[in-house]
């Protein structure tokens, strides 16, 4: 059953990601990207990485996509603007996709066949184990990162504040 769900979510993720790339309407493209993020989260959960799945939903499908939709509404794209675009952007995209394909092909050729799955620890992605590791061994870097984020928030508020 897990393998059927894995293939189903993989096909859905590939289909929605392909639609995102080839969609003409930017709103439909962003909605298909949201579907892609949710299916990737489902794949994480199927692979026993529950924490990554939940973070995928909260951070990407929640926060990032809200920002994308906000920027889309602020840009107010019209069909008249589409005629002003040059074909050089499409050429650069095709070249970049070709380079990515060659890199993925090289990585695939470098894989060893017959990888043993007996030594895989299935409890690695559990939130309980991640929390123990984070708050025991890595507590100082975790707290330093939180102070750095707080400093960034204070800096953004000070920069964005209007002088009264």
Write the DSSP symbol of residue 24.
S
**Digit-coded pLDDT (tens) for 12-68:** 999 999 998 888 887 888 889 889 999 999 999 998 888 888 888 888 878 877 777
Q: For domain 1-80, which architecture applies?
A: Up-down Bundle (1.20)
Alpha helices in the chain (DSSP H): 2-22, 26-46, 50-55, 65-75, 79-82, 88-110, 127-136, 139-160
pTM equals 0.58
What is the largest distance, in Å, between two alpha-carbon atoms of the chain? 67
**Digit-coded pLDDT (tens) for 70-113:** 777 777 666 565 556 667 877 888 888 899 888 888 877 776 65
């Amino acid at each position: 059953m897990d393998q059927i769900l894995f293939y189903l979510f993989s096909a859905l993720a590939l289909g929605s990601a392909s639609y995102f790339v080839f969609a003409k309407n930017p709103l439909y493209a962003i909605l298909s990207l949201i579907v892609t993020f949710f299916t990737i989260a489902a794949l994480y959960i199927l692979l026993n990485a529950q924490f990554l799945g939940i973070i995928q939903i909260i951070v990407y499908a929640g926060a990032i996509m809200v920002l994308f939709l906000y920027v889309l509404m602020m840009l107010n794209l019209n069909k008249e603007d589409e005629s002003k675009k040059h074909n050089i952007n499409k050429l650069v995209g095709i070249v970049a996709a070709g380079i990515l394909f060659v890199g993925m092909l090289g990585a695939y050729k470098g894989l060893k066949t017959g990888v043993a799955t007996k030594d895989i620890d299935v409890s690695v992605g559990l939130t309980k184990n991640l929390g123990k590791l984070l708050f025991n061994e890595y507590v100082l870097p975790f707290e330093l990162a939180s102070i750095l984020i707080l400093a960034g928030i204070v800096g953004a508020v000070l920069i964005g504040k209007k002088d009264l």
